[in-house]
Amino acid sequence: MRRREFIAFVGSTAAAWPLTARAQQKVRRIGVLLPFDDERDPQVIQLWPAFTQRMQELGWSEGRNVHYDLRFATQDADRIRKAAVDLVTSAPDLIYVWANPALASLKQATRTIPIIFAQVSDPVGSGYVANLARPGENISGFQNFETAIGGKWLELLKEIAPAVRRVGVVYNQKIPANVAFLHAAEAASTATGATVTAIELHEAAAIESALTAFAQEPNGGLIVTPNPLNTTNRELIPALAAQLRLPAIYPFHLFVFSGGLVSYGFDTIEQQRGAAGYVDRVLKGEKPSDLPIQAPTKYQLVISLKTAKALGLTISTQLQQRADEVIE
């Protein structure tokens, strides 16, 4: 090769290096829709780092090759819909979402942008995916509770508080999974000897009056279903339950840390890590439609002995041994 041609070859190769480097470092945009007020919410503080840490382990670092566009929509339906539309309009490479109401809005907003979800109940019954094995379209992820858990919550509540005869299910009728939990509890009521009553809530302002009205008759207890309104008010609801002397079972351990009696739910940290794995696979070329919906493989029982004592309940040694965590 003549000297002039060699210099031209080296120069053209060197000029290509920055372009190659930039292509390798392409920043992928992930839209994130969370049904909370802001990043200071305890659930966000606990769970979001679990997701980003797993993403980093898989090679995705904020500012280097991935950017997270977080949107907080509280539990207000109009704000959720608006945030979903805004996020879709921004055209991210993928959207990661928590909870049923936010996923429902995103499904209406796009059928093309890949969506990975976590903490969603009954995705088939709610109409989000075709089936668990092959979800179809652009959505896949990790469900939190199977509908039969409603019956299990009732059984556990009766085991912890045998005197309970009336059980109010605190739920949102507009969330199909919440309705399914209510029906599962109703189906289990005959075997447990308890009467199940629906307590429908849509706004925080109605919580105190609804629970107070239910507590007017004796031997009452509560099943608090997973939805954004209940989770956002995880301090208010346990406080009212204690004040009204209503033994209650909750879907997440954060309720127990806020003074609740007992929770029975899935490992939320592990689910965030699993969802990060699905996001990684989609960003690398797989389709959500080919990724099966994952169900929890382990449930955790958390009991507060302090709250039990305040309610006049005795937790058996056997039940304490079955618990994953006992708060003194």
pLDDT band for position 16 (cuts 50, 70, 90): very low
Nearest to 182 by CA among 159, 145, 151, 215: 151
Quote the pLDDT of residue 11.
42
| CATH superfamily of domain region 8-145+267-297 | Response regulator (3.40.50.2300)
Residues 6+ apart with CB under 8 A from 181: 121, 145, 147, 149, 150, 153, 169, 171, 223, 225
Percent of the chain with pLDDT strictly greater than 70: 92
Centroid of chain to Cα 280? 19
| More confident: 87 or 24 | 87
Quote the pLDDT of residue 19.
42
Quote the pLDDT of residue 157.
98
Over residues 268-278, the mean pLDDT reads 96
Q: What angle do CA 170, 172, 175 make, to 5 degrees?
A: 135
Of 55-59, 130-134, 196-200, least confident by mean pLDDT is 130-134
- For residue 48 the two structure tokens come to 């979001």
Architecture category of domain 149-266+300-327 in CATH: 3-Layer(aba) Sandwich (3.40)
Q: Which helix (H) or strand (E) holds 17?
A: helix 3-24
Residues 6+ apart with CB under 8 A from 118: 96, 97, 98, 141, 142, 144, 271, 272, 274, 275
Over residues 221-227, the mean pLDDT reads 96
149-266+300-327: same fold as 8-145+267-297? Answer: yes
Over residues 281-307, the mean pLDDT reads 95
Residues 6+ apart with CB under 8 A from 35: 72, 73, 74, 75, 80, 98, 99, 101, 102, 228, 232
Percent of the chain with pLDDT strictly greater than 90: 79
Three-state SS at 278: helix
Structural domain boundaries of the chain?
Answer: 8-145+267-297, 149-266+300-327
d(CA 325, CA 35): 27
d(CA 166, CA 172): 19
Mean confidence (pLDDT) of the chain: 91
Strands (E), the chain: 28-34, 66-72, 94-98, 115-120, 139-143, 166-171, 195-200, 220-224, 248-250, 262-266, 299-304, 325-327
pLDDT band for position 6 (cuts 50, 70, 90): very low
Quote the pLDDT of residue 24.
54
Over residues 184-191, the mean pLDDT reads 96
Over residues 203-226, the mean pLDDT reads 97
Quote the pLDDT of residue 36.
86
pLDDT, tens digit (0-9, with 9 covering 90-100), for 88-111: 999 999 999 999 999 999 999 999
For the CA atoms of the chain, what is the radius of gyration? 24
Which range of 8-17, 84-93, 117-126 scores highest in mean pLDDT? It is: 84-93
Quote the pLDDT of residue 228.
84
Centroid of chain to Cα 68? 18
Over residues 135-164, the mean pLDDT reads 95
Over residues 114-118, the mean pLDDT reads 98
d(CA 219, CA 312): 13
Phi (first) and psi of residue 97, to 5 degrees? -140, 145
pTM: 0.82
DSSP 274: H
C-beta separation of 264 from 299 below 8 A: yes
20 pLDDT higher than 70: no
